[in-house]
Amino acid sequence: MVNLNECLMNDTPIVVVSDKEPKKGLFRKVAKPRKYFIKEFNPAEFVGEEICLINNINVSHYFLACIGSFNLDRSMWYEDIKGKCQSIRIASPNFEKPGYQYKSVTDYGFSQKDTNLFDKMLSVAKDEDNEKKLCMDMLKMLALDIYMGQTDRFAFNYLFEEDSEHNVRLAPLFDFEYSLNPQFLTDPNDLSYGDLYHFGSIEECKEFIRRYPKFRDILASYLDMDLEYAIRSAYGKRRMRMPESKYPFYRDFDEKRKELIKRIVQ
């Protein structure tokens, strides 16, 4: 939908990194810790990060990286590498902190196909205080994914971090590429797709709200989200531009998601 070349400007900063860095795959156990995680450009990644920042959701940071046969680690302007680098991608630093363990639901012994993964993950919390914080983390992620129309919150596309005292929290979010696009949603009433909790219908979402009343307020807060502002901010702070011709598409998407949210929370 959006080509990277449409977004680049001469003074867009791009970090030059070695082509020895892994180019795909996230957070798999390797002998040597990865410095960066690298993936193809997708316009939703930067926007997803910005929406998380606006809503105080722990999120990984994304930037542009030029991949080449060198061992540099510094920022350059796009005009300095234009025509010299054929591979510009999105990268994020490894957010893993020393002393913490990073786990998926399967690492806790749960199946991704369990219909009550949300409740099962709450059961791993250390104590009542930890359970409340973990619950809020997960509620925020579910609401974000409904608003963005996330269709790929499966498997290793979300992780949990556990400290040395066994407090469990949701790790920084990442991977927003299958969102902000109605083509990924098979029906206008689709909420989102993921294995932590799958809402098969609006009524199922309302039933979830009856069990977790705070979810209503979190989801309703997206009725005040200014998606255009989030996009301009996400790209502006990276000295990039989103083509003006793309904003009507995003305005239409934003309007339809808010209509769907209103049907849930009202």
Q: What single string gives the DSSP state of each residue in 234-256?
A: HHHTTT----GGGHHHHHHHHHH
Terminal-residue alpha carbon distance, the chain: 33
* DSSP three-state, residue 210: helix
Q: Phi, psi at residue 167, to the nearest 5°?
A: -75, 135
Structure confidence at residue 73 (pLDDT):
64
The C-alpha atoms of residue 209 and residue 121 are separated, in whole angstroms, by 18
Residues 6+ apart with CB under 8 A from 167: 125, 126, 130
Please give the structure tokens belonging to residue 228: 């255009």
- Map out the domains of the chain as residue ranges: 4-93, 101-265
- Find, among 239, 193, 236, 264, the residue nearest to 15 by Cα: 239
- Find, among 18, 21, 13, the residue nearest to 81 by Cα: 13
- Find, among 19, 23, 48, the residue nearest to 152 by Cα: 48
Structure confidence at residue 81 (pLDDT):
85
Measured on CA atoms in the order 183, 236, 63, 221, is the torsion positive or negative? negative
pLDDT in tens, the chain (266 residues): 799 999 999 999 998 876 554 444 444 444 455 688 889 999 999 999 999 999 999 999 999 998 775 555 678 899 988 877 668 999 999 999 999 999 999 999 999 888 899 999 999 999 999 999 999 999 999 999 999 999 999 978 999 999 999 999 999 999 999 999 999 998 877 899 999 998 989 999 999 999 999 999 999 999 999 999 999 999 999 999 999 999 999 999 999 999 999 999 99
Edge-first strand order for the sheet with 74-77 is: 36-39, 88-93, 63-68, 13-18, 74-77
The C-alpha atoms of residue 157 and residue 193 are separated, in whole angstroms, by 12
Check if the beta carbon of residue 168 is closer than 8 Å to that of residue 132: no
Check if the beta carbon of residue 218 is closer than 8 Å to that of residue 143: yes
Burial class (CB in 10 A: 0-12, 13-18, 19+), 102: middle
Please give the structure tokens belonging to residue 30: 């390797």
Count H helices and E strands in the chain, helices first: 9, 8
Report the CATH fold assignment for 101-265. Answer: 1.10.1070
pTM above 0.85, yes or no: yes
Structure confidence at residue 188 (pLDDT):
72
